Amino acid sequence: MHADVEPIVRQFFEDDNFARHCGVELVSVEPGRAVARMTIKPEHFNGYKIVQGGAIFTLADLAFAAASNSHGTVAVAINVSITFIKAAKSGVLQAEAREVAHNPKLGTYVVEVRDGQGDLVAQFQGLVYRKSERIADWYNQQR
């Protein structure tokens, strides 16, 4: 990634109101990779008092979005799936996204969500369509 893209990509995702509302924080982003985390709070629990699947999905989705857009071109999800492996009840969850395949139009990503003990909580897979628009161009037009 070019030095001038990184700050814009980071800002683009720091402006994600829904992720921020859910307590999801972007920790790092580099070409084809991203890490996000979420400290578990009572509002993340479902009726069974474990972290609601949508909260885990939102965490994984932000990491996926940051990794797939890290090359500076707008990438939008066209297919995603998640498998829940272990319940989470407390602590911090971390999602690490990595690029599996990259071409000018499509990108494939795998995201692992782990708890504080390093145990796998969920695995997320996603496919993006890469638009021709650059994030920097879009972002500057929004200002």
**How far apart, in whole angstroms, are the C-alpha atoms of residue 47 and residue 39?**
19
pLDDT per position as a tens digit, 42-59: 999 999 999 999 999 999
114 located within any domain? yes
**How far apart, in whole angstroms, are the C-alpha atoms of residue 32 and residue 98?**
6
Rounded to 5°, angle at Cα 63 from 57 and 68: 120
Residue 2 has pLDDT above 80, yes or no: no
Residue 4 has pLDDT above 70, yes or no: no
Q: List the CATH number of the domain containing 117.
A: 3.10.129.10
101 located within any domain? yes
Residue 1 has pLDDT above 50, yes or no: no
What pTM was estimated for this model as a whole? 0.93
42 located within any domain? yes
30 located within any domain? yes
The number of distinct structural domains making up the chain is: 1
143 located within any domain? no
142 located within any domain? no
128 located within any domain? yes
**How far apart, in whole angstroms, are the C-alpha atoms of residue 106 and residue 78?**
9
Mean pLDDT (whole number) for 106-133: 97
Residue 31 sits in which domain range? 5-137
Q: With cut-offs at 50, 70 and 90, classify the pLDDT of residue 141.
A: confident
- What single-letter amino acid sits at 113? V
Helices 5-14, 53-69: axis angle to 10 degrees equals: 160
121 located within any domain? yes
